[in-house]
Amino acid sequence: MNLATEKAFVAYDPSLARVSAIKQAIKKAGYEPLAIDAGKQVDEHKAAKEREIRVLWAKFALSAFFSLPLLYIAMGAMLGWPLPAAINAMQFPLRYALLEIALVVPVIAAGYRFYVVGFRAILHGSPNMDSSSPWAHRPRSSIASTPWSASMGETSVRWRACTSRQPVSP
């Protein structure tokens, strides 16, 4: 079984196992078995994956297109980069905020799927790569360690909450 390619190859002895029993076992494991002569289905699967990759690249390009000007506008004043006077945050805060919102909405829309998956994972208490945030990686048994140290895998001594000063095993 190769999870990266989403494929598995099964070799079996026909005198010991039936194809239908193998298919049932695959279905029971939560996968969809393809027939041995399913070259067309495999090609459809490959085409669907390629289509998904093209869509993701297009969304990435859209996000980059709007993120780069947003980065320039948001960080330009702090880094001493020249900004047009019409979007000066001190003189025109509403115009500045509306421009930033207009630039960030397409980025959020393009990455909508990742936000939904990430928030769903946080709500279920099983954060993953889509929910990478400081609060998602905080150890539940620790009040002394920071989210940064928890996400970096530091193993420091943790203390119980205000009742005693006894170390807690990680």
Q: Which of 110, 132, 155 is the last residue of a domain?
A: 110
Mean pLDDT, all residues of the chain: 76
- For tokens 């194809």, what's the residue? 19
Band (pLDDT 50/70/90 cuts) for residue 98 is: very high
| Range of the structural domain that residue 106 is part of | 39-110
Pair 45, 100 in one domain: yes
pTM above 0.95, yes or no: no
pLDDT of residue 123: 86
Pair 18, 44 in one domain: no
Q: How many domains are there within the chain?
A: 3
d(CA 106, CA 100): 11
Pair 119, 101 in one domain: no
Mean pLDDT on 99-123: 90
Of 75, 133, 131, the residue nearest 103 (C-alpha): 75
Pair 56, 19 in one domain: no
Pair 12, 49 in one domain: no
Mean pLDDT on 45-54: 88
Pair 116, 59 in one domain: no
119: which 2 tokens? 């928030």
Pair 161, 125 in one domain: yes
Among the residue ranges 5-19, 98-112, 130-144, the one predicted with the least confidence is 130-144
